[in-house]
Amino acid sequence: MHIRQPIVAVLGHVDSGKTSLLDRIRGTGVQGREAGGITQHIGASFLPTETIKEMCGPLYKKLEQSENKVPGLLVIDTPGHEVFTNLRSRGGSAADIAILVVDVNRGFQPQTNESLKILQSRKVPFVVALNKCDQISGWRKSETKFISQAIKEQDASIQADLDQKVYDVVGTLSILGYKSEAFYRVEDFKSEIAIVPISARSGVGIPELLSVLVGLTQQYLQKRLNQDEKEPRGIILEVKDEVGLGQTANVILIDGIIKKENSIVVAKRDGVIVTKPKALLLPKPLDEMRDPRDKFKPVPQVEAAAGFKIASPDLEGVLPGSTLYVASNDEEIAKYTELIESEMKSVFVDTETNGVILKCDTIGSLEAIMEMLKRSQVPVAKADIGPVTRRDVIEAKAIKEKDRHLGVVLAFNVKMLEDAQDESETSHIKLFENKVIYSLIDNYNAWVEEDSANEEDAMFAELTPISKFSFMKGMVFRNNNPAVFGVRVDVGNLKHKIPFMNMKGHKVGYIHQLQLDKKTVSTAKTGDEVACSVKDVTIGRQIFEEEVYYTFPPSHEAKQILKKFMHKLSSEEQEVFNDIVRIQREIEPVYGY
């Protein structure tokens, strides 16, 4: 059996100490250079066995007896769930095991929960690093790097305090369905999650953390790590333009060997790219780097697990998070092209069914959110990568007419184009934006719940309000682009972003903005005198001083008002609404039906 090194990812809440932990692991490795040190990869660092052995000291003895010794650990350099979600692989993860960092004094925080949910959905085993032990009040500094020893050196009250903090985590994890225990009390590593108290700052506990990681992977991940008969494949982490190299992709090779003469098969948004790499690159060791711009060293081949760079002008548009296949003949190219096409089909969603519209920044976040929406039983009509466009909002609008709770846009880490923003305001399409995956879904679910509770009021509030208002004589502030003029609200409430008509029933345009006493307001009430701006009209052409206007609900809204909401209008509003319907029916007999 040829076992490769496991790929390790670090996750956890902001400020829990993920970066410090990675620095500490790498730093200790660098200091242990004589024993093998660490090798820098692209996006990852490799700790060979000798280094781990030196760091773990006597703890390594037991690990050495395993028949399936792993040749070290490949630790992904960028912590956090953003990179982790892109480390995807056939519905699972390219990471073999993860370290979930928890701040000992803060316990579980929002992103700890989010990380856990992602680990769960990708079925990645993990170890909890209970970090910042040195910050437990009263903690005594000691020389040892072994946490088991350091705990013994603490006062009894501090030991009890740490125990309590460990049990808090055990409690939280048990609510979430996991059995866990401090690593020194774990009896069965397969069914219990090990909690290792550490300090990324002092380095205490790192030996235990590493030995638990190595022990777990040697015992339970042999099949995954065994390289016999594995097809070479990797995952694209990032695509970027590199000075002097042009388009490059950072890749983690999960299995097998890639040679420079092989073809690679990768996905872009609208198809498959087949290309031969111009170069396979690894970082140059520091002592070989004379010019800092000359960071990479071309190599003829790379063996898994490894982080490396591919340079090729054809890589433009390749999707981060997509699988990279390695082909040595036409038959394999055809096979992998088909595989990628079907993979992409299962990731992107575009259906005619009712569901939410989801836009994400990467294929990894898209997949993770889809999975969670599925668990929350929220159907998805469309899921894609890229900014929120006007078309997305219009699609949501059509869905909303059939199901008001599904006609929404969920956006994860993407921009909203300006015309999409306008459209969502005028059409009352809810947009949920969040950079924390589970908050995005929680906020949506909370809104659905709240909105269902007072659905009638919520529906009425979204309709074009019924109002009558007049253009005040002499109140012309600007003729056009946009036209700005003073109006008095005669009946009802006037709002911005709503359509209005003249007495003949012709639609004039949309009220763009309202200003009361020079302050922008969204609503003006009966009797208010406000400045009103309207785009695409000119005073003296489409609109005139002293004219009287009505707000103009579209036909389907008029129908809802007639059927369900007349009782919500005041008698004056009812009168105005009856006028609107009468005038419109002279032009369009089916208005409001």
Which of 201/497 has CB closer to ligand GDP?
A: 201
* Whole-angstrom distance, CA of residue 428 vs CA of residue 97: 44
User: Do the Cβ atoms of 100 and 212 come closer than 8 Å?
Assistant: no
Task: Quote the tokens at residue 539.
Answer: 């005073």
From the CB of 15, what's the least distance to ligand GDP, in Å?
4
* Whole-angstrom distance, CA of residue 113 vs CA of residue 530: 49
Instruction: Choose the binding region for ligand GDP from 9-17, 45-53, 414-422, 479-487 (rule: CB under 6 A).
Output: 9-17
Residue 491: how many CB atoms within 10 A of its CB?
20
Q: Is 78 annotated as a binding residue?
A: yes
Task: Quote the tokens at residue 363.
Answer: 């294929």
Contacts 24+ apart (CB under 8 A), 155-164: 161/136, 161/137, 162/104, 162/133, 162/136, 162/197
* Chain centre to alpha carbon of residue 540: 51
* 145 part of the interface to ligand GDP, by CB under 6 A: no
* Whole-angstrom distance, CA of residue 282 vs CA of residue 43: 10
Instruction: Choose the binding region for ligand GDP from 18-26, 219-227, 245-253, 342-350 (rule: CB under 6 A).
Output: 18-26
User: Do the Cβ atoms of 105 and 135 come closer than 8 Å?
Assistant: yes
Which of 421/439 has CB closer to ligand GDP?
A: 439
Contacts 24+ apart (CB under 8 A), 176-185: 176/113, 176/116, 180/128, 183/127, 183/208, 183/212, 184/148
Count of residues engaged in binding ligand GDP, rule: CB under 6 A: 16
User: Do the Cβ atoms of 432 and 408 come closer than 8 Å?
Assistant: yes
Which of 51/199 has CB closer to ligand GDP?
A: 199
CB closest to ligand GDP, residue no: 17
* 207 part of the interface to ligand GDP, by CB under 6 A: no
* Whole-angstrom distance, CA of residue 277 vs CA of residue 267: 15
* Whole-angstrom distance, CA of residue 130 vs CA of residue 194: 10
H-helix or E-strand spanning residue 363: helix 363-375
From the CB of 139, what's the least distance to ligand GDP, in Å?
10
Instruction: Choose the binding region for ligand GDP from 26-34, 196-204, 338-346, 360-368 (rule: CB under 6 A).
Output: 196-204
* Whole-angstrom distance, CA of residue 569 vs CA of residue 146: 73
* 199 part of the interface to ligand GDP, by CB under 6 A: yes
Residues in contact with ligand GDP, shown as a per-residue x/- string from 85 to 124 under the rule CB under 6 A = ----------------------------------------
Choosing from 3, 6, 17, 420, the residue that interacts with ligand GDP (CB under 6 A) is 17
* Whole-angstrom distance, CA of residue 150 vs CA of residue 197: 10
Residue 298: how many CB atoms within 10 A of its CB?
13
Residues in contact with ligand GDP, shown as a per-residue x/- string from 147 to 186 under the rule CB under 6 A = ----------------------------------------
- With tokens 């920044």, the residue in question is 361
- With tokens 């015992």, the residue in question is 219
From the list 322, 279, 273, the residue with the least C-alpha distance to 298 is 279
Residues in contact with ligand GDP, shown as a per-residue x/- string from 312 to 341 under the rule CB under 6 A = ------------------------------
Which of 17/43 has CB closer to ligand GDP?
A: 17
* Whole-angstrom distance, CA of residue 85 vs CA of residue 365: 6
* Whole-angstrom distance, CA of residue 574 vs CA of residue 558: 12
Task: Quote the tokens at residue 401.
Answer: 């007419």
Choosing from 1, 14, 503, 566, the residue that interacts with ligand GDP (CB under 6 A) is 14
Which of 139/469 has CB closer to ligand GDP?
A: 139
Catalytic residue among 13, 41, 81, 496, which? 81
Instruction: Choose the binding region for ligand GDP from 197-205, 219-227, 302-310, 344-352 (rule: CB under 6 A).
Output: 197-205
Task: Determine whether 405 is an active site residue.
Answer: no
* Whole-angstrom distance, CA of residue 583 vs CA of residue 593: 14
* Whole-angstrom distance, CA of residue 46 vs CA of residue 465: 64
Residue type for position 130: L
Which of 16/337 has CB closer to ligand GDP?
A: 16
Question: In sequence order, what are the residues at sequence separation of 6 or more whose Cβ sits closer than 8 angstroms to the Cβ of residue 207?
Answer: 55, 56, 57, 59, 145, 146
From the CB of 169, what's the least distance to ligand GDP, in Å?
16
Which of 16/389 has CB closer to ligand GDP?
A: 16
Q: Is 77 annotated as a binding residue?
A: yes
From the CB of 133, what's the least distance to ligand GDP, in Å?
7
* 201 part of the interface to ligand GDP, by CB under 6 A: yes
Residue type for position 84: F
Residues in contact with ligand GDP, shown as a per-residue x/- string from 46 to 65 under the rule CB under 6 A = --------------------
Which of 104/494 has CB closer to ligand GDP?
A: 104
User: Do the Cβ atoms of 48 and 54 come closer than 8 Å?
Assistant: no
Which of 13/53 has CB closer to ligand GDP?
A: 13
Which of 15/451 has CB closer to ligand GDP?
A: 15
Residues 125-144 binding ligand GDP (CB under 6 A) are: 131-132, 134-135
Q: Hey, is 161 helix, strand or coil?
A: helix
Q: Is 81 annotated as a binding residue?
A: yes
Query: What Å distances lie between residue 105 and 112, 148, 311, 456, CA to CA?
Result: 14, 19, 45, 46
From the CB of 111, what's the least distance to ligand GDP, in Å?
9
Q: Is 283 annotated as a binding residue?
A: no
Task: Quote the tokens at residue 568.
Answer: 């919500």
* 18 part of the interface to ligand GDP, by CB under 6 A: yes
From the CB of 88, what's the least distance to ligand GDP, in Å?
22
Q: Is 79 annotated as a binding residue?
A: yes
Choosing from 29, 79, 232, 486, the residue that interacts with ligand GDP (CB under 6 A) is 79
Instruction: Choose the binding region for ligand GDP from 7-15, 383-391, 422-430, 458-466 (rule: CB under 6 A).
Output: 7-15
From the CB of 13, what's the least distance to ligand GDP, in Å?
7
Choosing from 5, 8, 11, 16, the residue that interacts with ligand GDP (CB under 6 A) is 16
From the CB of 26, what's the least distance to ligand GDP, in Å?
13
Binding residues, by number, are 77-81
Q: Which residues bind ligand GDP (CB under 6 A)?
A: 12, 14-20, 79, 131-132, 134-135, 199-201
Binding residues for GTP, by number, are 77-81
The residues carrying an active-site annotation are 81
